[in-house]
Amino acid sequence: MGTSNPTIDAANAAADATPRLPAPPLQLKRPALFLDLDGVLAPLAETPDAVVPDSRRTAVLKAVAERLDGRVAIISGRTIAEVDRIAEAALASASGVHGLERRRADGSVDHAKPAKTVRQAVEAFHDFARDRPGMIVEDKTVSAGLHFRGAPAEAEAAKALARRLADDTGLVLQPGNLVVEVKTPGTDKGTALTAFMAEAPFAGGVPVMLGDDLTDEDGFVAAEAAGGFGVLVGPPRETAARYGLPDVDGVLDWLERLKESA
């Protein structure tokens, strides 16, 4: 008999009680696409390093970017270097670490200065993970992440530690999908989207943000405020997104159809 995962069970229960959102439209006037990576363009994996390039994904991204005159960006919690590794540098525009890194279409890059207390958080996460098999610590310089996908029984303890660190250090608590993060203040996926929309080639477009977890809600809100909308990928839940797609394959299918209709 299999064992129960309380985190996944709670998410499934919430999904069962929430109506599924309609699929996003294909007939859009000058769409500007903003895409999360994990859970949207790439399936979730046991570890961050286990997510690898995929020929279909790369081809779809290149084709859609060409069709939309470059109005496509990945906005991720990963670093831009990791985004480029997984997406094979298919897109000129990208934002990493929840907006703390942002590369414009012309190749110029903004890097936020890391808060000094990020080092304290990294050390605290390593101390926590040392005697808990399955925990993974990510040091992104401007933020610290603690993944508990491989140790679901430690989820509540990991979240409590992150909350304490945020209170003690002034870092921003950033919950995600089976991960918790504390990061340098000042940006989120919504601020990244808004910054892109003020620049070529995105300016004047209709922003569409595709995301799967809580870190993407800021992007959904920003897209709506700029005259566009959000698309929730995965099981239904309470969200600011107006539309939904079921999974990564559904996203790639929609992007292929959008390319033909744009």
Active site members: 36
Q: Containing H/E element for 250? A: helix 248-261
The answer for residues whose C-beta is within 8 angstroms of residue 24's C-beta and 6 or more apart is 208, 229, 231, 242, 243, 244, 245, 254
Q: Containing H/E element for 137? A: strand 136-139
Which structure tokens are listed for 39? 């859970």
Cβ(77)–Cβ(215) under 8 Å? Answer: yes
Neighbours of 28 (CB within 10 A): 18
The answer for residues whose C-beta is within 8 angstroms of residue 90's C-beta and 6 or more apart is 57, 58, 61, 62, 65
Which structure tokens are listed for 199? 């620049």
CA 216 from centroid of its chain's CA atoms = 6
The answer for residues whose C-beta is within 8 angstroms of residue 199's C-beta and 6 or more apart is 104, 105
Question: Which residue matches tokens 């002034």?
Answer: 170
- Cα–Cα distance measured from residue 209 to residue 214, given in angstroms and rounded to the nearest whole number: 13
What is the dihedral sign for C-alpha 183, 187, 188, 189? negative
Cβ(117)–Cβ(170) under 8 Å? Answer: yes
- Cα–Cα distance measured from residue 249 to residue 216, given in angstroms and rounded to the nearest whole number: 19
